[in-house]
Amino acid sequence: MSKVAIITGGGSGLGQATAVRLAQEGVNIVVVDVSEKGGHETVEMVKKLGVDSIFVKADVSKQKEVKNYVEQTVKQFGSIDYFFNNAGISGSGKFFLDTTSEEIDQIVGINLLGALYGVRYVAEVMIKNGGGSIVNTASSAGVIGQDSVVTYSATKHGIVGLTKSMVAEYAKDGLRVNAIAPGPTETPMVKTFYEANPEMKENATRGIPQKRLGTPEEVAELVTFLLTSKAEYINGEVIRIDGGFTNTK
């Protein structure tokens, strides 16, 4: 029987690339995104690879919508084997004292509460069925401090805590939870951020030992490895994939 994966933020970037990569492994995909256009695009891409897929629209900052995408997955496929807990936003790039309370609320709601709600409802299903594997998307800003992304960085540090603490509580129940910490990567979110803050792209690229941004496909390879049975004894880890960016900090 084919495995089933939920991918939040699956309509673009890391989520879409991972959906395609998992589909190449024969995994059925539930694409979750606030964008219907991007979500349906990913569904069509993975169906062409011979797997089953559905799209569920959700604002992950809303608990009821998170619960719904989990329920729709179980209704359609009967189980959840893998969860790429990936949806997130970066913010405006302004220094913290120049950001609005509305921006803070939005970033925390999507990046941190959305991740917490996702793990809460997905893990419940996984444990009931004997276990499963979760990969949370942290960030290089989740393992070091970075300017212009204070709220984002705070949420991504929270993702690291979520990852490690879930393992402490539920590894005994067959749950594996790891996190990735990508550095600057050529995703639509990052491109939009750098278009608004061009000097930051130059600074970031200069600070990466490999002198380039990462690609969604490179991250998708790591996520696929961590989710699947090839990584059964890796648990509670935060894997950096940043061209050496945080290694120099």
Catalytic residue, candidates 69, 82, 152, 170? 152
Asked if residues 77 and 4 have their Cβ atoms less than 8 Å apart, the reply is yes
DSSP-derived secondary structure for 175-230: EEEEEEEE-SB--HHHHHHHHH-HHHHHHHHHHSTTSS-B-HHHHHHHHHHHHSGG
Give strand ranges (E) for 61-201: 82-85, 132-137, 175-182
Could you confirm whether 121 is annotated as catalytic? no
Count CB atoms within 10 A of the CB of residue 85: 27
Pairing of strands 4-8, 82-85: parallel
What's the rounded Cα separation, in Å, for the pair 111 and 140? 14
DSSP label of 172? G
Asked if residues 42 and 241 have their Cβ atoms less than 8 Å apart, the reply is no
Question: If DSSP codes are grouped into helix, strand and coil, which group holds residue 151?
Answer: helix
Angle at alpha carbon of residue 191, lines to 190 and 195, rounded to 5°? 115
Q: What residues act catalytically?
A: 152
